[in-house]
């Protein structure tokens, strides 16, 4: 005799997106790419049928409800990523020395930051694409976490250490998330 699910959430799969669940891994594929993520928890069961993804739990405590919402949001982000993608816009800000930014196979190269001769290099994570347009940097990709981590890497690379942040506000900052 199987226990009946006390709580469940359903996520609809839009047209043009294929989803599969095998060995605790979700594979979501769409026009912008393919994402894979592992979801394993003893209190939850996942299933795909009739264009919907179902998440069920036999326990209905607050922890399970919160974790179920987290799993559901991750799956929705994966679906959004393979259909529309994620885009972050960053802007270079300088008042002392003009910052030169370029993207190559090493990552995002930041030159002349606060007059430094050695360039700083920020790591680009996963399948994130970097497009430098003057003083704007546009990051796009299907995985929200990879795009966000790339933006964080660029911001952290341009931190002015050992200087007064009220005076030295030079850096590259996220100005828009689409």
Say yes or no: 17 and 42 in one domain.
yes
Distance in angstroms (rounded) separating the CA atoms of residues 51 and 64 = 24
Domain boundary among 66, 83, 100: 83
Per the structure, the complete domain to which residue 36 belongs is given by: 7-83
What integer pLDDT is reported at residue 60 of this predicted model?
A: 83
For residue 21, what are the contacts with CB-CB under 8 A and spacing of at least 6? 27, 46, 47, 48, 53
> Do 143 and 83 touch, CB atoms closer than 8 A?
no
Output phi, psi for 66, to 5 deg.
-65, -45
Q: Is 2 among the domain residues?
A: no
- 49-69 pLDDT tens trace: 988 999 998 888 899 899 999
CATH number for the domain including 149?
3.90.930.12
What is the DSSP track for 63-93?
HHHHHHHHHHHHHHHHHHHHHT-EEEEEEEE
- 128-153 pLDDT tens trace: 999 999 999 999 999 999 999 999 99
Distance in angstroms (rounded) separating the CA atoms of residues 71 and 76 = 9
Kindly report the pTM of this predicted structure. Answer: 0.87
Say yes or no: 92 and 79 in one domain.
no
Say yes or no: 77 and 92 in one domain.
no
Domain boundary among 83, 116, 143: 83
């Amino acid at each position: 005799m199987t226990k009946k699910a006390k709580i469940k959430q359903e996520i609809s799969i839009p047209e043009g997106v294929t989803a599969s669940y095998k060995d605790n891994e979700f594979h979501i594929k769409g026009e912008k790419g393919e994402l894979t993520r592992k979801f394993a928890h003893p209190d939850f069961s996942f299933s795909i049928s009739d264009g919907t993804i179902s998440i069920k739990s036999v326990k209905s405590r607050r922890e399970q409800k919160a974790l179920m919402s987290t799993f559901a949001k991750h799956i929705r982000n994966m679906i959004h990523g393979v259909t529309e993608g994620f885009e972050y816009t960053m802007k270079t800000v300088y008042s002392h020395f003009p910052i030169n930014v370029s993207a190559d196979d090493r990552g995002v190269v930041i030159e002349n930051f606060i007059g430094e001769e050695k360039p700083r290099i920020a790591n680009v994570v996963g399948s994130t694409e970097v497009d430098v347009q003057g003083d704007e940097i546009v990051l796009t990709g299907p995985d929200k976490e990879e795009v966000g981590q790339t933006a964080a890497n660029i911001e952290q690379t341009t931190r002015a250490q050992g200087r007064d942040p009220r005076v030295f506000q030079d850096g590259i900052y996220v100005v828009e998330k689409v």
